[in-house]
Amino acid sequence: MPLFHLSPAVAAALSEKRPVVALESTIITHGMPWPQNLEVARKIEATVRENGAEPATIAVIDGRLCIGLEDAQIEALAQARGVAKLSRADMAVCMAEGRTGATTVAATMIAAQLAGIQVFATGGIGGVHKGAESSFDISADLRELAQTAVTVVAAGAKAILDLPKTLEVLETLGVPVIAYGQDQLPAFWSRSAGLRAPLRMDSASAIARAHRMRGALGLPGGQLIANPIPEAAEIARAELTPVIAKATQDAVDHGISGKDLTPYLLQRIYELTEGRSLEANIALVLNNARLGAEIACELVKD
């Protein structure tokens, strides 16, 4: 049995050397409620297509690694219960046991590289959680960026994280962190994290050249493109800081940790912002899908 299954559309695009953008599936299963999750998943795929590339939403379904989902599969996943949240550590076990799981950033990168997909668009990456000096809670996404050769377009790391420490770990691991069109590092719902980005690029073609150059140099890993949320959709950092502090304290009070922490914090912030955080999340994901498609289009040019 093949290690993974390509949808007919993704298989045709790869065979014909047309641009393809990988998409994660945890945004469907763990990021939004039904039926909004289905609507947003369809919008993300439509945005990739409108900008000239083929979307490849990735998930493990009944033990099969599916790279590119049919619409009926996305709809079923959006309504499924008890779907595992897969990263590097548990992806193989989920497949071996014939279970269903949604891919995080790390797992999506692994699948994309297996299929020969060079670009992945997501919302935000994981990183170093606050208090990691005692909890050691650091996302596997960071090490994945250091070893898997996929360009990842995100609105920075999720703002609930310790962003200075996340940036330090990425620097230690040799991951290029490239802000798109600005000098400041974006912070998911906000256009600025209050940190200067190590690198800046202003065009999809420049990002594609940097991706190719890493390959030519034999450097392992990918590059993180930190694409700021559109200005009209952002929630200012000054407004978000006390909200994140409140949500984080609530998590401590309720003993929430590990894989449950990020979903809990995102839901609590949604409640505290009366839904504005979710609206911003949708806007930034669509913006990343657009840029991801533009980069993918540049990468297939001779």
Binding residues for Mn(2+): 137
Binding residue numbers for substrate? 85, 105, 139-141
Question: Hey, is 67 helix, strand or coil?
Answer: strand
- CA–CA gap between residue 182 and residue 98 (Å, rounded): 44
Phi, psi of 171 (to 5 degrees): -65, -45
- Is 45 in the active site? no
Strand partners, 59: 66, 102
- CA–CA gap between residue 33 and residue 78 (Å, rounded): 8
* Residue in the structure block whose two tokens are 């990020």: 262
- DSSP assignments along 112-125, one per residue: HHHHT--EEE-S-B
- Is 158 in the active site? yes
Rounded to the nearest 5 degrees, what angle is found at the Cα of 145, between the Cα atoms of 211 and 261?
Answer: 145
**What are the residues whose beta carbons fall under 8 Å from the beta carbon of 193, sequence distance 6 or more?**
156, 159, 163, 184, 185, 186, 187, 237
The continuous run of DSSP H or E covering 271 comes out as helix 261-272
- Single out the catalytic residue among 54, 130, 144, 158: 158
Question: Hey, is 177 helix, strand or coil?
Answer: strand
Binding residue numbers? 85, 105, 137, 139-141
- Single out the catalytic residue among 24, 45, 75, 294: 24
Question: Hey, is 182 helix, strand or coil?
Answer: coil
Catalytic annotation, residues: 24, 158
